[in-house]
Amino acid sequence: MISTKAAVRQSLLDARRSLSAGQGVLDAARATRQVQQARRVALYVSMGPEPQTGGLIDWLLAGDHEVLLPILYADNDLGWGLAPGAADLVPGRLGLSEPRVDLGSEAIATADLVICPALAVDRTGVRLGRGGGSYDRALARVPTGVPVWAAVYDNEIFDHLPSDPHDRPVHAALTPSGLIPLT
């Protein structure tokens, strides 16, 4: 059993690098009532072999949902801006695609649903990210009762992952094959 966060993270990144292209989460997301009813969804623009979110962003915008996308600050905190459409995003830090207008770090608190990136989750809701702490800070601003999901592949759900006291839990794993509630 791999026990350190760094070792688990490296193993998961290596496994993702072997993927030729990421599968999307559009079909699984639009099949859920929470996505259909959410007025504003905080999401992210996927990169490389991450579970693909581009189709979901386009579908949400076409259905008159608002989509908040992250803006990575120099201190690794996240601001949020409304998605105008993929063609209107600008290059951000670390090669990320970001909205032009920053609504601030507190804008995530206005979302009805948050779908965040992760390398893995466990069945208790522990989310393993890339290690910068950006999403743990952002998720601390999400009001109680707002669903928080992590987009991962089906094979990235574990019985147990290492965690730290500052780690923010998620309520479900959104995979290409469906939504899996976590306890």
Q: Decide: 78 and 107 in contact? Cβ < 8 Å.
A: no
Q: Decide: 14 and 5 in contact? Cβ < 8 Å.
A: no
Q: Average model confidence (pLDDT) for the chain?
A: 90
Q: pTM of the full predicted structure? A: 0.89
Q: Is 16 annotated as a binding residue?
A: no
Q: Decide: 172 and 182 in contact? Cβ < 8 Å.
A: yes
Q: Is 7 annotated as a binding residue?
A: yes
Q: Which amino acid is at 173?
A: A
Q: Is 6 annotated as a binding residue?
A: yes
List, for residues 85-114, the tens digit of each pLDDT value: 555 788 777 778 889 889 999 999 999 999
Q: Decide: 28 and 154 in contact? Cβ < 8 Å.
A: no
**Domain with residues 5-181, CATH architecture:** 3-Layer(aba) Sandwich (3.40)
How much is the pLDDT for 132? 84
Buried b (16+ CB within 10 A) or exposed e, 148-177: bbbbbbeebbbeebbbeeebbbbbbbbbbe
pLDDT band at 2 (very low <50, low <70, confident <90, very high): very low
SS3 (DSSP) at 18: coil
Q: Is 170 annotated as a binding residue?
A: no
Question: What are the extents of the domains in the chain?
Answer: 5-181
List, for residues 143-155, the tens digit of each pLDDT value: 999 999 999 999 9
Q: Is 54 annotated as a binding residue?
A: no
How much is the pLDDT for 39? 97
Q: Is 127 annotated as a binding residue?
A: yes
Q: Is 81 annotated as a binding residue?
A: no
Residue in 103, 180, 111, 108 with CA at minimum distance from that of residue 139: 108
Residue in 134, 128, 127 with CA at minimum distance from that of residue 169: 127
